[in-house]
Structure 1
């Protein structure tokens, strides 16, 4: 069998936002099949069999056939290797725990060269998946071995390194369900929800409403208890100690049994419960001391450990814990019994597992074993239960059982500490009964609590805690579909677009919104240049959208930016397309004629919100034809009052057709006219609407800017006055 040369990966572009392919982030790969262009899948001996043996779940890929097994049908009929690579990468991502349902492969004008894309929210993960998929397809083509588990492990490692943690991810997912955009601000879990001045920030389960003072209080467990106790919240009696001797002395004063724990630790590290012997208390002090700045000895509270999640002053989820133990069989050592317990599919080191593996050599476990006079190498007699962990295993949902009195104290404690989101560690005999009569107590108040126990309980119902946090940050209002959004005007094309962006920004500023502009002439805030050089690209728009001062944004983009990077925003209130010029400079994107520009510049209109508007140049036929793609209203502008497209647009509105109110902005002689269906209003003459110093802008550019702000319901009076006061300097 002949050996085929590798498929060449000519270049890859990560498109971070809406593009010619889709609304979501994708990796675009340019492939050169070389000699494989003459060998579709059915002409490669044994290829289909090897591929489906490695990836049997390819049967679930519908492909263009539209039914289960569709892709396998295409394989048997014969499909080209670029298309096959697309499905391989998607399946590898699926097997790695990151579903990736979208992909496309298209020919280019050059024989054997294809553009292949697939959806993936993280660029680093996408590139690793592509590399592994490329290796797999070449191994299948050339009948060579391939280590599939190693490939999946490599992708999982990339996911673990780059993907959001489960707590952050569930909040971001909930925000997406409410169509609130998000921007990841670092390589960790700092995420911005919303744009500009409408944004909120989260870091795991902490928010920009989480007070630093409150977080500091929560970290000091002793001070937290004293603060809660002063307000009538039941807490266990306790005291900070400086030495093992003092720990034993305080334990006797408080009364045995006691708990020993660090004053500012977390995740139950260094916490030892129900201690009665001096030796154990001294050992527990040594265990707790390295985990915090101080050590606390407190009265042991009998009951079951519970975690209640308080969001915005309300209990939204609760779970309870269970101790971890193993039962002897008379044959296996304790270490062997623990190894069997760790095979529980709920246990794992990654964050998505609700339970962690048990480390029999961990100091806390060793201390528990000494209290029971066994070692990891002891053979445990049949039926004897050995306790390994008393805490840190809260994963049984009990939200529906929480008594109002218990909820009250949890909510009160959050308010006392000052946290908007808090995890309450409570010990209760029965969560369905009032708290004080059963001797229950709050042990700790946690800022930024983990959410996985509520998302993936080992038993009980998962709780939508991510949505609870999003609803807290962005309260639902009647008709409030714009949560987290500021007005965004996107402008695409080449003709005087920097001027249009600057003028629109000035007019919005006069309307009372602090407005940022990202244009080819730089970055502006309130018409003041904050950055020189071109900002008409993804990075410029991104910087503007992360600016907490911006109450509105005007973003200029180009066809090249759309092709190279995608848009920096998911949707806009107003989308403006001025022309389809410039295809001559886009040969590297396989664009060779004007007609191909439609697919590129339609992206600007595709992202217009349903309640927004598309502003289109009626004087350019292909631009005006984008009207059919707009989800919102359509406004046309033209330098000719009698333009047939403008007349048809206005007439359609009068006859009850689609496209909104039939609004248009045009010139009649020297007059700028605003028309709504059959009604007209003269805004002024071109002379009267000159800029300071008598400067007359390009008429078409002026009309585009007027139409954009009129679409946002700025009054004609403000528009006219604003134009006359616009100090423009390129």
Structure 2
């Protein structure tokens, strides 16, 4: 046994455990493969008091929660956690186990958790634990912290029992009913995903086009008309009677006098009940005379939503519920009204208390049986049987406390599924078909279900839509029936899919373009693609929401859309850190690259940290799935170690490189690859599987690559092709998709969109980090060289940076702008992200001027904070053959501004002197060479290097 050494405490013991932050992960995340709650706990002075340094703490904790003795903890055996408590462990670890135990005692089978120290914060701990219901898990975490503090130092105002009762009441409010829970458990056993759509029992099973919904036992396939018919008891009786099925005589009434007259006409004894009631509420049975009917009238009327009652003949016999699913009998239960059995010792009231003490009984539908309620009606019924509540019934005597056998009024059930006569089963099935319900509860009253009702007497007294399953799944007597299976079979017949293919795309750069390329390929196959990206949510090429939709909530919206049969989800770092993935797994994961962006944010301090976050999508790949990984990136290459599925590599490296040798070795072992093969005619994209190679397309013939100059889009094409190949798309369709995908604003808004203004070429791109700007500058260099122009081409960039990036990253944007472009126009994002106005622009300018003074390309640097003004300035100074790159923040507005100039700038409409001017530049600057620019305050030393074709 290793006992933790007690550190020197700076002060006395205090209940100082505090929750500093709370986060809910609703899917795979950086801590766990499953949904989890993440608390950051501050131990305060308790950091210096592990459990063995707190006298009596462990004993008091175990006395309150003996279930902790079963926790294995890191020891891997039962009782391991108790050993840790005696040896000494910190209270954040205790809070983790206590949060799990509280949920387990509430009936939620959760076991996974971990506690890790927060880097650079002494006494702070990351506490992660699993949950089934989000609100219950959060309440468990908060209560666990409060209980730990209470055990450290007794708080007289903190009542543990009252807090536990409040917690269990919350669990009861949030829990599914037994019927819904049974269906969900069956769905989970078949790997059918489910999502709760509200705080009650509305649940979606499956995803996208395969989705089905249930509310309790009502399904997506339950006809609304059939529900209305079943809700009208009079109409139900008439329909069944017209088909020759045994039903009682009945009539519909609206007044007390009408009720009395109907009872006389039908003949006593009668039943009075609400026409549109349920759960047996307001049903008054065995009314022998006119006075009984008058007394029953207000009771039934109080439970009627429309003020309409039904009077019917009283059929004697036992109460049976026949459950019919998809036209077939699934289960039969005999319902016995709430009662107690005399023992010759206890009063009726004491017998009720003894019966209600059964742990199977609870309030409402929270448990398999409902507590017996003693009200005025129950007391009257007891008196009619010759007893009072304080009387002692003889041994073996049954005293009823309700007339109806509903489980919701405290009744019990006896399974009779195997006992029913085939004729009675046929009658029940025919009744369900006549009403039109896919799931129906047929209420039979007859002397014995084993004898045909046509011979013994009896009738169908009611047909119920959305019948409860509790009496069948948890009968008081007899074998439970697994009736959720035929319900799930009804919604998802064996062999039918419940999931849509999910492709998760992550990385620093290229995510959106790769997603759009793949979506274009799948669209060519006729797929209804649901896609999330930083631009919004798109379903079947229709933009539904415009916003940054790269998080888990957007993913859920796509997977709930009934048109989607293929999902492509862009997954950003922020969403993973904030809430996890939002779904349980993805069939294909694409990781484009890991570059310098978002460092220093939310604990991500290095490229390795960033890779650890983004590899969550690779960890979410199942064994029959695929991970499309960039072999050229060492951080992405390492992700192969966490992938359970097949890897599809893509690489831009030369055939004789070490990376390609690595890929060839992996392909022999079962991996796949998409690579480039140089030929005399250009680069060929080649798919490799095992030892086979298949030619796909020339890179220079793909419009998105601009004759091969846009190397980032060559890489994106490789990634998209690899994912399509993994999804089973034929090579011809992959080829056709890539050949027809362009970077027009309509197919790829904000991603290398080209437009010509006054014979100058303008590229609009959502470039927001140094790696992206470096690729963009390289593209311009290749693009200009490929044009083979005789005259010098001036290059202008409009550049900005997100204010939440590190100063060094913002400065690097300026450095790269000055490295690749002649003129740098610096703007700021609309959202300054907690920086002062002009602060980010100043840092960019510092970097640009430093590089320009050190021999960089830039000869002019201007700051224009407003994005549209900066765009206008860049366009105003353009001359024919110039290349202008606008790194846009709000690309839609920028494109609108550029498009407007294309209508104004008609060729030949202006002379040289009449061309639109820029007041911040000299009048002749449009047509001046870079060397002749006015050496104003913004000018810097020009670079003598001159790029020509």
TM-score normalised by the chain length of structure 2? 0.72
SS in 1 for 2:101: helix
SS in 2 for 1:400: coil
Question: Following the alignment from structure 1 to structure 2, what is the Cα–Cα distance between the partners of residues 77 and 332?
Answer: 51
Q: Is the 8 A contact 2:315 2:445 kept in 1?
A: yes
Q: Which runs of 5+ in 2 are unaligned?
A: 1-10, 742-746, 751-949
Is 2:574 the counterpart of 1:563? no
Question: Following the alignment from structure 2 to structure 1, what is the Cα–Cα distance between the partners of residues 453 and 663?
Answer: 69
- 1:286 to partner: Cα distance: 2.6
2:358 to 322, 340, 344: 344
Alignment correspondent of 1:86 = 96
Q: Is the 8 A contact 2:705 2:714 kept in 1?
A: no
Tell me which moved more, 9-18 or 101-110. 101-110
- 1:166 to partner: Cα distance: 2.2
Alignment correspondent of 2:62 = 52
Q: Is the 8 A contact 2:13 2:45 kept in 1?
A: no
- 1:688 to partner: Cα distance: 0.7
Alignment correspondent of 1:140 = 151
SS in 2 for 1:298: strand
Q: Is the 8 A contact 1:334 1:379 kept in 2?
A: yes
Q: Is the 8 A contact 1:583 1:593 kept in 2?
A: no
Cα RMSD (Å) = 2.4
1:183 to 195, 220, 225: 195
SS in 1 for 2:549: coil
- 1:327 to partner: Cα distance: 5.7
Alignment correspondent of 1:725 = 740
Alignment correspondent of 1:239 = 251
2:545 to 531, 545, 562: 531
Change (3 A) 1:401 1:580: farther
What are the residue-to-residue correspondences of 1:38-437 with 2, within 5 Å? 38-110=48-120, 111-144=122-155, 147-292=159-304, 293=306, 294-326=308-340, 334-363=348-377, 365=378, 368-369=381-382, 371-372=384-385, 379=391, 382=394, 385-391=398-404, 392=406, 393-437=411-455
Alignment correspondent of 1:499 = 513
Q: Is the 8 A contact 1:96 1:152 kept in 2?
A: no
Change (3 A) 1:705 1:283: same
SS in 2 for 1:572: coil
- 1:562 to partner: Cα distance: 1.0
Change (3 A) 1:665 1:205: farther
Question: Following the alignment from structure 2 to structure 1, what is the Cα–Cα distance between the partners of residues 546 and 332?
Answer: 52
Question: Following the alignment from structure 1 to structure 2, what is the Cα–Cα distance between the partners of residues 509 and 354?
Answer: 49
Question: Following the alignment from structure 1 to structure 2, what is the Cα–Cα distance between the partners of residues 476 and 699?
Answer: 42
Q: Which runs of 5+ in 1 are unaligned?
A: none
- 1:679 to partner: Cα distance: 2.0
Per-residue CA deviations over 1:597-640 (Å, capped at 9, x if unaligned) read 44322321122233321111111123123224333221100112
Q: Is the 8 A contact 2:512 2:534 kept in 1?
A: yes
Tell me which moved more, 490-499 or 623-632. 623-632
Larger radius of gyration: 2
Q: Is the 8 A contact 2:337 2:412 kept in 1?
A: no
Is 2:694 the counterpart of 1:681? yes
Alignment correspondent of 1:627 = 640
Change (3 A) 1:82 1:581: farther
Per-residue CA deviations over 1:361-391 (Å, capped at 9, x if unaligned) read 244x355346446665x64565665432121
Alignment correspondent of 1:613 = 626
- 1:584 to partner: Cα distance: 4.9
Question: Following the alignment from structure 2 to structure 1, what is the Cα–Cα distance between the partners of residues 420 and 32?
Answer: 45
SS in 1 for 2:594: coil
Q: Is the 8 A contact 2:270 2:286 kept in 1?
A: yes
Question: Following the alignment from structure 1 to structure 2, what is the Cα–Cα distance between the partners of residues 252 and 288?
Answer: 18
- 1:278 to partner: Cα distance: 2.5
Alignment correspondent of 1:8 = 18
Q: Is the 8 A contact 2:320 2:444 kept in 1?
A: yes
Tell me which moved more, 453-462 or 184-193. 453-462
Q: Is the 8 A contact 1:283 1:367 kept in 2?
A: no
Is 2:611 the counterpart of 1:595? no
Change (3 A) 1:44 1:171: same
Q: Is the 8 A contact 1:280 1:371 kept in 2?
A: no
- 1:184 to partner: Cα distance: 1.2
Q: Is the 8 A contact 2:514 2:717 kept in 1?
A: yes
Question: Following the alignment from structure 1 to structure 2, what is the Cα–Cα distance between the partners of residues 197 and 149?
Answer: 47
Tell me which moved more, 117-126 or 691-700. 691-700
Change (3 A) 1:346 1:512: same
SS in 2 for 1:19: coil
- 1:9 to partner: Cα distance: 1.3
Alignment correspondent of 2:718 = 703
SS in 1 for 2:728: coil
SS in 2 for 1:673: strand
Per-residue CA deviations over 1:145-197 (Å, capped at 9, x if unaligned) read 66332222122122123232222122112111111111111111111111111
1:690 to 691, 703, 708: 703
Question: Following the alignment from structure 1 to structure 2, what is the Cα–Cα distance between the partners of residues 617 and 333?
Answer: 78
- 1:701 to partner: Cα distance: 1.3
Q: Is the 8 A contact 1:309 1:422 kept in 2?
A: yes
Is 2:587 the counterpart of 1:573? yes
Question: Following the alignment from structure 2 to structure 1, what is the Cα–Cα distance between the partners of residues 740 and 674?
Answer: 24
Change (3 A) 1:360 1:103: same
TM-score normalised by the chain length of structure 1? 0.93
SS in 1 for 2:98: helix
Question: Following the alignment from structure 1 to structure 2, what is the Cα–Cα distance between the partners of residues 154 and 586?
Answer: 41
